[in-house]
Amino acid sequence: MTFKEIQELIKQLSKSNLSEFKLRDGDFEISVRTKHFNKQNAKAQLISSQAIMPSAPALSAAPVAAPARPSGDTTGEAAATQNQMDGNYLEVKSPMVGTFYRSPSPDKPPYVKVGDSIEKGSAVCIIEAMKLFNEIESEIGGKIVKVMVEDAQPVEYDQVLFLVDPS
């Protein structure tokens, strides 16, 4: 391949959307990466990490998080929670793994606070999962007794978010 042919090849590659080009002809070998190479490589890594990420928390969330809550007898909060559950309080649980937010945006007041009365179907918080903000609705009605999760903290599937007095 002549120098002029190589120049023409590079010129044509720069006009295309190809990210990488390799040519082998006998003893001659050329490899060209265009400006699209880093973009394509970054997209491929992003896609592969997104494909892997959802399954990892789902597998580890249930076995690790579920037993950790009830067996945490060493903390005062766990003991208080157990006492409150004995008081016939109902639980509003997380339907997914994600990040818990008490308000629709940082400058807005929380959906609910301790002492608020809620109805079945009313929004109580937001859980962000994979850049999607999911408004969580209560499946029960009553009075909020305790908020079990701090704002902007990660939550696991089936983790208790609120304790509600149904009376």
- Tell me, rounded to whole angstroms, the distance of Cα 102 from its chain centroid: 16
> What is the spatial distance between Cα 23 and Cα 113, in angstroms, rounded to a whole number?
66
Same domain, 42 and 91: no
> What is the spatial distance between Cα 155 and Cα 130, in angstroms, rounded to a whole number?
13
- pLDDT per residue, tens digit, the chain (167 aa), is 787 887 787 777 777 777 777 888 888 788 777 766 665 555 544 444 444 444 333 333 333 333 334 443 433 344 444 444 456 899 999 999 999 999 999 999 999 999 999 999 999 999 999 989 999 999 999 999 999 999 999 999 999 999 999 98
Q: Which domain holds residue 127?
A: 79-165
Pairing of strands 160-165, 132-137: unpaired
**Cα–Cα distance list, 44 to 48, 50, 51, 158 (Å):** 6, 10, 11, 32
Task: Look up the pTM and report it.
Answer: 0.50
Q: Which two tokens stand for residue 80?
A: 């208080």
Same domain, 161 and 122: yes
The CATH number given to whatever domain includes residue 110 is 2.40.50.100
Same domain, 97 and 24: no
